[in-house]
Structure 1
Amino acid sequence: MAAARAESYFAESYFHTYSVVGLVAVVGVLFVAVAFAAGHLLRPVAPTREKMLTYECGVDPVGEGWAQTQIRYYVYAFLYVIFAVDAIYLFPWATVFAAPGFGGTTLVEMFVFIGFLAVGLLYAWKKGVLEWT
């Protein structure tokens, strides 16, 4: 009898937490929908030819929409993301490494992870990506 009551309590508590999350999600969606609707209803509508032009930081748009960008900017951003992810994984690894019983396994895993990053960095260096000229 007590086990059935405890199971019923845990089931109610379990679904209650999900109902709270669902309610917060619905309220959030309604809040955004009401804000967009209010903005649509309250804004002034006076379209002119100048207002319909593309805005380019105060400069009148001239020429074509095609502009070439150096690929090295993207490569540097990509390398930054790789090493930022590396840092994100190093901090939790250091806390697990200090826990008893995880030393050897986590050490090997981290050497494999850092090895993959080193191979990527070596590849970028050999390709000359890291030289700014």
Structure 2
Amino acid sequence: MEKVVVSVLLSVFLGFVLLFVGLFLGVSFFVGREKSSPFECGFDPIGSSRVPFSLRFFLLAVIFVVFDVEIVLLFPAVMVVGSSWVWVGGYVMLLVFLVLLFVGVIHEWREGSLEWES
């Protein structure tokens, strides 16, 4: 028990030491107008630095991430489908998950979020 307390205290102490070292090394001592201005290959900045982006592209990227995570969740189910120790409830849950995934794709398709051009 004493070893656990000592190791936890040592970890917390080491964490604080690394935090303060990072804060000290991250401080910029030379702050001026030139340092805080945006740099574009030696030229004065042209236009705004806040460039509007396509909301459709953002939504498509979010949809990709969501379905990518769902595909990763399917990997264990695919590995277990052929084995004999899976109970019927597992197959039902897999089927419900796939149906929800399919309904989500159909919804996004009807909404037009999967269209590349518009």
Q: So what's the TM-score if we normalise by structure 2?
A: 0.72
Q: Give RMSD over aligned pairs.
A: 2.9
Q: 1:80-127 CA distances to partner (integer Å, 9 max, x unpaired)?
A: 111121122112334555461x33111111111121111111011112
Whole-Å separation in 2 of the counterparts to 1:69 and 1:26: 44
Q: So what's the TM-score if we normalise by structure 1?
A: 0.65
Aligned to 1:52: 36
| Greater relative contact order structure (CA < 8 Å, 6+ sep) | 2
Whole-Å separation in 2 of the counterparts to 1:75 and 1:49: 37
- Give 5+ residue unaligned stretches, structure 1: 1-11
1:85 aligns with 2:72: no
Q: 1:112 to 1:25 in 2, by over 3 A?
A: farther
- The letter for the 2-side match of 1:46 is F
Q: 1:25 to 1:111 in 2, by over 3 A?
A: farther
Sequence identity (%): 27
Please tell me whether Structure 1 or Structure 2 has the larger radius of gyration of its CA atoms. 1
Aligned to 1:24: 11
- The letter for the 2-side match of 1:23 is L
